[in-house]
Amino acid sequence: MIVTESHLDRFGGSHAIIVGAGTTGLTAAAALARHFERVTVLERDALPEQPEARRGVPQSRHVHVLLRGGENVMNHYFPGLTPDLVARGSVGVDMAADTRWHHSGGWKQRFESGVTMLCQTKGFLEWNLRKRVLQLPNVRIRDGATVQGYVSGDGIVAGVKLRDGSVLPAQLIVDASGRHSHMPDQLRALGYGDVPLTTLDVDVGYATRPYRVPPDHAGWRALLIHPRLPASRLGVLLPVEGDRWLVTLVGWRGDHPPDDEQGFLDFARSLPVPDMHQAIRGAEPLEQIRLYRFPANLRRHYDRMRQMPDGLVVIGDAACSINPIYAQGMSQGAIGASILDACLSHQRRKAGTKEIRGLTRQFHKKYAKFLDSCWMLSTTEDYGTETSSSRRFPGAPILNWYMGRIQELTWKDRDVAQRFIEVMHMLRPPVSLFAPSIAARALLLR
């Protein structure tokens, strides 16, 4: 989904601030550069000169798939990004032709789907996006700059307070500071009350190790092994820049993979098919095993606030952080940036280039609709897990039954497999899995 219209005049004498230089903040910077005279991205970390992981995004050592929905948006703001990335080492993997994918008890069909996932480390992707953002003449990235608070009055946020005591004024502030965003505390302190919150416990543990691709490897480029509920273990092997495999093992509901070599291999061997273990047992590991724990899906409903100050929007993981096994996070943030772009175009047309009031509510309403579909897509299985302590929504068992049938169909029916891939990559809405032609096959499946 790309929604943009940026040929109107920019907001006069204007400055926008983005808090956080993750993938969401960087994509938002390019979107905002079309609307504001100056854009400043403030980042707490010292940003590395090289493509590497950094403190502020500890998850970046783990597998990060960029779905096509997010890749399309990034290419819109950074034309030619995909060929650039591929020339520097990213690997395009067709979801069906190049991927050996065991899902919910069966192997999926192998065929040319035309839907590629772009595989690289997150540090590499961010480094390339930073280079692109720095080419924009009206955007500046300030690293080592921690935002500690906001300046507000008369129902509008008009600037940020930095840790060094300085204040930076702006007409629009975008909070893209990730899952641990302090915005709920800030809004409470400013008298706006609590931000409504939905959480769903999953207690997912990640263990990741890079390997050198064995010279004699053939047959597939990526290997995905996803369990049938209530089994709780999965494995992902993706090719990344530098002729490496990034291997991530994942366990749900406390069944976490360990960080010792033998335990890691044993966990791989315990997956429903032996392929992951066979692939890595003789391969050369390049680094130690790293762990990460993700306790719960969380969604902050800024659209449901009774009052929200103008001049402020919250985007990406700061608004909605979803179980990473569904690989939606970076795309969700990038698409959020494109929704903000469209809302700014609308605002300039309707209210003129001097008026920012009204944008906050309009954006959060539109963004919430999109987040509803992300949440539904990724939490359907999570709600189905037996030990999830969060309250199930009433339709969850039926939805789980239906999705189980869809997954079975993807083993043998190319049309359904294609549709499933397109929905997963955010190229179609989840509801398209309920189209009559698909539903009939799911209901008649024996």
Ligand X SMILES: Cc1cc2nc3c(=O)[nH]c(=O)nc-3n(C[C@H](O)[C@H](O)[C@H](O)COP(=O)(O)OP(=O)(O)OC[C@H]3O[C@@H](n4cnc5c(N)ncnc54)[C@H](O)[C@@H]3O)c2cc1C
Residue 33 · residue 39 · CB < 8 Å: yes
Q: Identify the CA nearest to 150 among candidates 31, 301, 33, 42.
A: 42
Distance CA 363, CA 342 (A): 9
Tell me which stretch binds ligand X (CB under 6 A): 39-47, 193-201, 212-220, 268-276: 39-47
Q: Which of 16, 17, 65, 183 binds ligand X (CB under 6 A)?
A: 65
Q: Which is nearer to ligand X, 179 or 392 (CB)?
A: 179
Burial (CB count within 10 angstroms: exposed 0-12, middle 13-18, buried 19+), residue 355: middle
Distance CA 299, CA 52 (A): 29
Q: How far is CA 162 from the centre of its chain?
A: 27
Q: Which is nearer to ligand X, 37 or 45 (CB)?
A: 45
Least distance to ligand X from the beta carbon of 125, Å?
A: 10
Q: Is the dihedral of CA 20, 26, 31, 33 positive or negative?
A: positive
Q: Which is nearer to ligand X, 14 or 59 (CB)?
A: 59
Q: Which is nearer to ligand X, 200 or 442 (CB)?
A: 200
Tell me which stretch binds ligand X (CB under 6 A): 21-29, 74-82, 254-262, 419-427: 21-29
Q: Identify the CA nearest to 420 among candidates 386, 412, 252.
A: 412
Kindly state whether residue 23 participates in binding ligand X, applying the rule CB under 6 A: yes
Residue 117 · residue 66 · CB < 8 Å: yes
Kindly state whether residue 20 participates in binding ligand X, applying the rule CB under 6 A: yes
Least distance to ligand X from the beta carbon of 144, Å?
A: 9
Q: Which is nearer to ligand X, 257 or 316 (CB)?
A: 316
How does strand 65-66 pair with strand 116-119?
A: antiparallel
Interface residues for ligand X in 300-329 (CB under 6 A)?
Answer: 316-317, 324, 327-329
Kindly state whether residue 176 participates in binding ligand X, applying the rule CB under 6 A: yes
Residue 174 · residue 42 · CB < 8 Å: no
Least distance to ligand X from the beta carbon of 39, Å?
A: 15
Residue 196 · residue 187 · CB < 8 Å: no
Compute how many residues bind ligand X; rule: CB under 6 A.
36
Q: Which helix (H) or strand (E) holds 100?
A: strand 99-103
Per-residue x/- marks for ligand X, 205-244, CB under 6 A?
A: -x--------------------------------------
Side-chain half-sphere exposure of 404, counting CA atoms within 13 A: 13
Task: Report which DSSP code applies to 220.
Answer: -
Q: Identify the CA nearest to 250 among candidates 54, 56, 53, 62.
A: 62
Kindly state whether residue 45 participates in binding ligand X, applying the rule CB under 6 A: yes
Q: Identify the CA nearest to 120 among candidates 160, 91, 151.
A: 91
Q: Which of 10, 15, 34, 62 binds ligand X (CB under 6 A)?
A: 62
Q: Which is nearer to ligand X, 70 or 89 (CB)?
A: 70
Kindly state whether residue 25 participates in binding ligand X, applying the rule CB under 6 A: yes
Least distance to ligand X from the beta carbon of 337, Å?
A: 10
Least distance to ligand X from the beta carbon of 148, Å?
A: 7
Kindly state whether residue 330 participates in binding ligand X, applying the rule CB under 6 A: yes
> Contact residues for ligand X (CB under 6 A)?
19-25, 42-45, 56-57, 59, 62-65, 146-147, 176-179, 206, 292, 294, 316-317, 324, 327-331, 333
